[in-house]
Amino acid sequence: MTASPYGATFALWRTGCPDPWNAYTHHAFVQGLGDGTLPQASFLHYLVQDYIFLVHFARAWSLGVVKAETLDEMRVCAGTVDALVNHEMALHVKTCAAAGIDEVTLFAATEEFENLAYTRYVMDAGLQGDFLDLMAALAPCCFGYGEIGQRLAKSAAPDTPYGDWIETYADTAYQSVMVSVGQMMDAAVTRRLGPDPAESARWPHLQGRFATATRLEIAFWDMGLRGA
Ligand SMILES: Cc1ncc(CO)c(N)n1
């Protein structure tokens, strides 16, 4: 198992589904962001959908506050809601405004099925299950973009038009929130499953949620590439 700055739980989950994880983090859409060959129409189609995605992700992280058992869990979940609605979405608003799409239009955009499936899957994981079910479904989103941002910041073509996007996820603001999310998830898992969580009866189910959310990330990139 390869260690990760985002904690031991994530490292275990990622190791549990290597092929989907690789397909997600090295998707053609991601390569196109890095080398600049991604068509702008695909990028905008993705970004409008991603704005709606973040609205629902902020709702799911808010459910984390409701399902938390410690103040630390509440703090990290509330901090993530803040990072999503007050920071990350600024990228979407600014980039779309420059392309002539205003925020009212963004908020009213029709959701693609891939977007609906992913966001409602995560919300249902949290409603049907407990805090850990919700975290397992949220983890691929957080840490996948963390890994992609870090890798592209080092390897992207200097003239890619997607530098702002890359910078948003490579930035210490995003990375440091992800490190605290990873630490919080490790503590949450130890608290509920003990020191050897992978041996617990619940582990395969949590691993399954992580893998499903990872497959939904792949479908989200596919949706972006397909265009509007
Ligand atoms: C689809 C998707 N996954 C993860 C992130 C990171 O927050 C995002 N903005 N969109």
Residue nearest to atom 2 of ligand 1 (CA): 141
CATH number at residue 210: 1.20.910.10
Read off the pTM: 0.97
pLDDT at 228 (0 to 100): 65
User: Helices H, strands E: what count in the chain?
Assistant: 12, 0
- Distance, CA of 84 to CA of 91 (rounded, Å): 10
Of the candidates 125, 99, 108, 110, the residue with the CA atom closest to the CA atom of residue 40: 99
- Distance, CA of 159 to CA of 62 (rounded, Å): 37
- Distance, CA of 134 to CA of 61 (rounded, Å): 9
Indicate the top mutation candidate among 25, 93, 138, 141 to test ligand 1's pocket, ranked by most ligand atoms within 8 A of CB.
141
Q: Is 141 marked active-site?
A: yes
What is this model's ipTM?
0.98
pLDDT at 18 (0 to 100): 98
* Full domain range(s) for residue 161: 17-226
Q: Is residue 54 part of a domain?
A: yes
Domain count, the chain: 1
**Close Cβ partners of 49 (under 8 Å, ≥ 6 residues apart):** 109, 111, 112, 114, 115, 220, 223, 224
- Per-residue confidence of the chain (228 residues) as pLDDT tens digits? 789 999 999 999 999 999 999 999 999 999 999 999 999 999 999 999 999 999 999 999 999 999 999 999 999 999 999 999 999 999 999 999 999 999 999 999 999 999 999 999 999 999 999 999 999 999 999 999 999 999 999 999 999 999 999 999 999 999 999 999 999 999 999 999 999 999 999 999 999 999 999 999 999 999 999 976
- Distance, CA of 39 to CA of 27 (rounded, Å): 15
Indicate the top mutation candidate among 50, 174, 215 to test ligand 1's pocket, ranked by most ligand atoms within 8 A of CB.
50
Q: Is residue 6 part of a domain?
A: no
Neighbours of 155 (CB within 10 A): 11
Q: What is the DSSP letter of 196?
A: -
Cβ < 6 Å from ligand 1: which residues? 50, 53-54, 88, 141, 145, 217, 220
Give Dmax (Cα) for the chain: 52
Q: Is residue 38 part of a domain?
A: yes
Q: Is residue 1 part of a domain?
A: no
Q: Is residue 9 part of a domain?
A: no
Q: Is residue 8 part of a domain?
A: no
Q: Is residue 11 part of a domain?
A: no
Compute, in angstroms, the gap from residue 93 CA to the centroid of ligand 1.
15
Q: Is residue 139 part of a domain?
A: yes
pLDDT at 193 (0 to 100): 98
Q: Which two tokens stand for residue 31?
A: 């390569």
